[in-house]
Amino acid sequence: MKHKLFFLLIFLTCASTFSTLMGQGIENMVLNRNAGLYEKKNNIERKPAPLPGVREADVAWSKTVWRLIDMREKMNQQFYFPKVEIQGRLNLINLLLKGIKDNTFPAFDPPANDENEFAVPVSYDQVKAQFGATTKTVQRRNFETGQMEDVKVQQEIPTEEVKQLLIKEIWYFDKQKSTLQVRILGLCPIRLYYRDEDVNQEVTLRKKLFWVFYPEIRPLLAKNEVLNTRNGARNFSFDDLFLIRQFDGYIVKEENTYDNRAVLDYASDEYASKESERIKNAIFDYEQDLWEY
């Protein structure tokens, strides 16, 4: 009799535990219906990795360059896709626009010569105007009266036209650590588009939209992930991509005595490509030339 009561007690305990677990499983399924297997909290609570401070006395050499990356290239497509939000993931331009709209960080008007990029703040409406996403008046027929009427229409922001990104960065040699380091200073999305009257799309126009100061946008970049095609459980953040420099681009300008002129101002075609490569090699050769073998 005692054995029967003992087994009955064990059975009831297991049944209660199983029921509780099943209830929790069903609840989790309801909570994570849109999130997938589980609700991701790692990136939401994540903060950007702290970078070591730099003392003026430790910088033995430095050079500021502007680098252009094309987001249509395979290595850079993580910045261009997804063009619409998927499972909470945004592409880079939509993320920056969200931060500007929410006043998370300021945007700055792009100067003609890329100097003092962070001097003139612009509002979200001004950024939209750079896209041509303004309120326009069009004529539409009123189906109740049958008459044509002027109607104001708010145009959508054509974020898919942002296909290039200009990066301002500074390379420096830290004599305290005896290493060549790099810090990104700012980002500038570039819009590639055609005029409305250019039906055949023969002439591609380029427009720099705005500058953002990179240290100010890092908290937002660190909280938003980029799909890791090799392991979806360990996605990168946008901040990770920039820190580990998982992108490909080429130098279009270096600081120089000729009003910081761009490479295309004094070279073209194949010569411009060789000049960009020369600047890149000169940066890395500085560190190599310090050592004797």
Is 134 within a domain? no
Is 26 within a domain? no
Q: Is the model's pLDDT at 150 over the cut of 80?
A: no
Of the listed ranges 24-33, 147-156, 177-186, 220-229, the least confidently predicted one is 24-33
Peptide bond into 215 cis (omega under 30): no
pLDDT 10s digits, 234-266: 888 999 999 999 999 999 999 999 989 999 999
Contacts of 166 (CB under 8 A, 6+ apart): 66, 67, 68, 114, 187, 188, 189, 190, 208, 252
Rounded Cα–Cα distance for residues 99 and 118 (Å): 16
Rounded Cα–Cα distance for residues 282 and 272 (Å): 15
Beta bridge partners of 122: 107
Q: Is the model's pLDDT at 138 over the cut of 50?
A: yes
Checking DSSP bridges between strand 250-254 and strand 59-70, what pairing results, if any? Answer: antiparallel
Give me the pLDDT at residue 137, please.
Answer: 67
Q: What is the DSSP letter of 120?
A: S
Q: How confident is the model at residue 88 (pLDDT cuts 50, 70, 90)?
A: confident
Is 198 within a domain? yes
Q: Is the model's pLDDT at 221 over the cut of 60?
A: yes
Predicted model pTM:
0.84
Torsion on CA atoms 11, 12, 16, 21, rounded to nearest 10: 0
Range of the domain at 216: 48-127+157-289
Torsion sign, CA atoms 51, 88, 126, 191: positive
Is 133 within a domain? no
Q: Report the domain count for the chain.
A: 1
Q: How confident is the model at residue 168 (pLDDT cuts 50, 70, 90)?
A: very high
Please, are residues 159 and 82 in contact by the beta-carbon 8 Å criterion? no
Q: Is the model's pLDDT at 90 over the cut of 80?
A: yes
* Length of the chain as a residue count: 293
Q: Which phi and psi angles does 77 have, rounded to 5°?
A: -70, -15
Is 181 within a domain? yes
Give me the pLDDT at residue 21, please.
Answer: 45
Q: What is the mean pLDDT of residues 43-50?
A: 82
Which DSSP string do the residues of 13-82 spell out, in sequence order?
A: HHHHHHHHHHHHHHHHHHHTTTT-SS---TTTT--PPPPPP--GGGEEEEEEEEEEEETTSGGGHHHH--
Is 79 within a domain? yes
Q: Which residue has the tokens 């990356």?
A: 69
Provide the greatest CA pair distance for the chain.
Answer: 100
Give me the pLDDT at residue 29, please.
Answer: 46
Q: Is the model's pLDDT at 17 over the cut of 90?
A: no
> Which of 29-33, 84-88, 131-135, 147-151 has the highest mean predicted lDDT (pLDDT)?
84-88
Is 185 within a domain? yes
Beta bridge partners of 138: 151
More confident of the two residues 228 and 15 = 228
Rounded Cα–Cα distance for residues 275 and 263 (Å): 7
Give me the pLDDT at residue 282, please.
Answer: 95
Q: Is the model's pLDDT at 136 over the cut of 80?
A: no
